[in-house]
Amino acid sequence: MSYCRQIGKDKIIFATKEDHQIPSTVTLPEPDPQPGLILSDGTINWSCPCLGGMATGPCGVEFREAFSCFHYSTAEPKGSDCYEQFSAMQSCMAKYPTLYNKLDSEDKDESVMDPLQNIGNAEEEKHPDIKQSTEAKES
């Protein structure tokens, strides 16, 4: 009598009762590595689980535009030319606070930075009127 056992989604091994009584000598190949965030051709892998659904949520378009801008940016500092895209993304996320919840200031880890912080500083250096208009709104 022989037994049939499926291993994985497309591997089938046939074994007799005697085959099951001794340790197996079958070696399976290593699984293919899953692609990461950046594919081998340099493009962005929007289906990467590391994005946590950000590319497909209600602000997916804004996220993809901001992330693409940053990824392909050649400005110094990197991404400093993406202020408008990140601002649009942040505005969209503010419309969905339960989905894109903010950290309370007391819970915020010092190592976690606002993604617009450095970009905003670079923009303010290029355009001092941005800082002045922001300060005027806050007063």
pLDDT in tens, 29-50: 888 777 889 998 999 999 898 8
Distance, in Å, from the CA atom of 135 to the CA atom of 133, rounded to the nearest integer, reads 5
Q: What pLDDT band is residue 119 in, cutting at 50, 70 and 90?
A: very low
Distance, in Å, from the CA atom of 8 to the CA atom of 28, rounded to the nearest integer, reads 10
CATH class of 49-105+112-138: mainly alpha
| Residue 34, number of CB atoms within 10 A of its CB | 8
Residue with tokens 């892998």: 45
The string of DSSP letters for 97-135 reads TTTSPPPPTTT--TT---HHHHHHHHHHHH-HHHHHHHH
Highest mean pLDDT among 3-12, 16-25, 87-96 belongs to 87-96
